Structure 1
Amino acid sequence: MVEIFDGGLGTELAKIVTLDSKLWSGGLLLTNPQLIQDLHEKYVKAGAKYITTASYQTSYSSLRDEGLGAKSEEIWATSLKVAQEAAKLAEGVKVMASIGPYGSYVNDGSEYTGQYDISLPQLIEFHRPMVDFWNKSEADIIIFETVPNPIELQAILSLAITKPYIISFRVNDLMTIEAINKTSFTDALAIGINCVDYKDITEYYGQLTSTKNVVVYPNYGYQMINNQYQSTPEPSKWEECVKQWISLGIWGIGGCCSTSPEEIAIISKLLT
């Protein structure tokens, strides 16, 4: 059975409101959390059984820099609350607590390249506050997203994670499929590949040797064009790729940047 994951949050919210905060969609947790809940609900109605909190860019370090360190747990709790409210719309919907990579904090593109100037102990301490919070929360799963290099992966695996968890990777020159294959994920619920072009997923998946469940949630034509991120949607190509992923027996399928409830609905339709 294929599990259906949700799609993009920030790229969808940016269609209806200006996201000018360093916290990206997480900034709406302070100003208009209902917009986030409304989008979660659209994903649930589209068939998603796993929805992700809007906490990707709300690391403690990011909140501290914005003068919100003392409110960090309150903000994370809000991200959980609006997702839980949306999850009530359908039976069996699970809420995943999102933790973004260090690169989403420095906001210099390194979440894609994995080129960090930071030590392993520093990366462990960067992730610790959110892991500690989500461990004690009512979230169903913790999901580490867009992990772009082996050092950050090592940092994550060094922490005590007491909930079911997923680690999803941004494949690049550092976080190669080979590097993923060399790692043991004994306690993980699943591993994933996200924030890569959807047309590359079939090739990447074919190279994985892990026996863990695999979730794929790629970008949908999201790329830099004329110094601006733009999407070039091809619905028929998306559907073709989803059919391939289903036939391969991939455990979980969803979307990342530029995917919308419409793309998730296509997954749902193909599974009915």
Structure 2
Amino acid sequence: MSSFVAALAVGPIVLDGGLGTLLESHGHDMSSSLWSARLLLEDPDAIRRAHREYFDAGARVAITSSYQVSHTGLAAAGFDHADVERALHRSVELARQAREDAGLGADEAWVAASVGPYGAALADGSEYTGAYGRTVDELREWHRPRLAALAAAAPDVLAIETVPSLVEVEAITAELDGIGIPAWVSVTVADGRLRAGDDLADAFALAAGVPEIVAAGVNCCDTAEITGALAALRASGGGLPGVVYPNSGELWHAQERAWSGSASEIAAHAGDWAAGGARLVGGCCRVGPDQISAVARRLVR
């Protein structure tokens, strides 16, 4: 059993916060279609320092900068297959280096290789609708090379993030079956359902059917969605631990590539989420080190 899976059975583990938005707050231009993947290629030390900042704040899982890295997405920006493979491996290595920089061992902090949905590569906000027009087989084929490259980099866990539809959950869970690396599957929701309108419990039931999947839940959603999502996870009957990392509560406008609204308080809910079955708790977009530090103070005794 991996140390990550063993720790998951013991009690809550604190995730990091939004990597791309932290880099943005440091003055980096994140307006390109590659999001944080651009810095992965051009300024990897900035990413390593951001991971370290979250570790120093109390996070014990660093989610890598590979969310928007895909073979099709980088090909459109002029990069070849070998560039993509190197970028995916580098994303895992940078998180490992940050863990070492923070003085943490491999049995007390972990690297989660981020796998974003198909819509993330389109860079048009469609991960929040799931309106791709792609079949399960097409999505399996698209995800396969990136999953293989990240698995070869040997992260502690694969973080399947922001999945908006049951079709894509089905595709990804099929590809994870037999991959040999622990994984969590996290969907994005609105009004208690996947963004594409699918039933949340159906998505969690699919996840529970794959031995490699060790947790399931939601991310990049409003905090108000979390309690219902954890209830749906329990109702799915799979017995998986929960993973929850909502965004700040501000609204993302994909066309303008800008945020509006005010932030919610993540840490105030962390204890209730843990009591409801969450074992991985952190934040997504616009949740920074200060909020992660507050979550750690609530959950770590």
Q: What is the TM-score of this pair, normalised by structure 1? A: 0.93
Partner of 2:6: none
Does the 8 Å contact 2:37/2:68 carry over to 1? yes
SS at match of 1:196: coil
Partner of 2:214: 189
Does the 8 Å contact 1:49/1:93 carry over to 2? yes
Does the 8 Å contact 1:2/1:249 carry over to 2? no
Partner of 2:73: 62
Q: 2:262, 2:184 → 1: CA distance?
A: 29
Does the 8 Å contact 1:170/1:195 carry over to 2? yes
Cα pair distance change 1:127/1:198, threshold 3 Å: same
SS at match of 1:24: coil
Partner of 2:85: 73
Query: What's the Cα RMSD here?
Result: 1.8
Q: 1:84, 1:231 → 2: CA distance?
A: 34
Give ranges in structure 2 of 5+ residues lacking alignment: 1-10, 190-194
Q: 2:270, 2:20 → 1: CA distance?
A: 22
**1:230 and 2:260 aligned:** yes
Q: 2:269, 2:142 → 1: CA distance?
A: 36
Which of 205-214 and 97-106 deviates more? 205-214
SS at match of 2:17: coil
Partner of 2:7: none
Matched AA of 1:61: T
Equivalent of 1:137 in 122, 133, 153: 153
Q: 1:93, 1:270 → 2: CA distance?
A: 18
Partner of 1:176: 199
Partner of 1:165: 183
Q: 2:204, 2:44 → 1: CA distance?
A: 38
**1:26 and 2:49 aligned:** no
Does the 8 Å contact 2:126/2:132 carry over to 1? yes
**1:84 and 2:84 aligned:** no
Q: 2:54, 2:261 → 1: CA distance?
A: 19
Partner of 1:207: 232
Shift of 1:230: 2.9
Q: 1:139, 1:182 → 2: CA distance?
A: 25
Which of 257-266 and 195-204 deviates more? 195-204
SS at match of 2:295: helix
SS at match of 1:251: strand
Does the 8 Å contact 1:148/1:169 carry over to 2? yes
Q: 2:204, 2:36 → 1: CA distance?
A: 32
Equivalent of 2:283 in 238, 255, 259: 255
Does the 8 Å contact 1:185/1:212 carry over to 2? no
Cα pair distance change 1:66/1:47, threshold 3 Å: same
Q: What is the TM-score of this pair, normalised by structure 2? A: 0.84
Does the 8 Å contact 1:26/1:58 carry over to 2? yes
Q: 1:78, 1:173 → 2: CA distance?
A: 32
Partner of 1:52: 63
Shift of 1:110: 1.5
Does the 8 Å contact 2:111/2:155 carry over to 1? yes
Q: 1:192, 1:207 → 2: CA distance?
A: 9
Partner of 1:245: 273
Q: 2:274, 2:205 → 1: CA distance?
A: 25
Does the 8 Å contact 1:199/1:241 carry over to 2? no
Q: 2:142, 2:232 → 1: CA distance?
A: 31
Q: 1:43, 1:155 → 2: CA distance?
A: 31
SS at match of 2:18: coil
Shift of 1:173: 4.2
Does the 8 Å contact 1:231/1:258 carry over to 2? no
Give ranges in structure 1 of 5+ residues lacking alignment: none
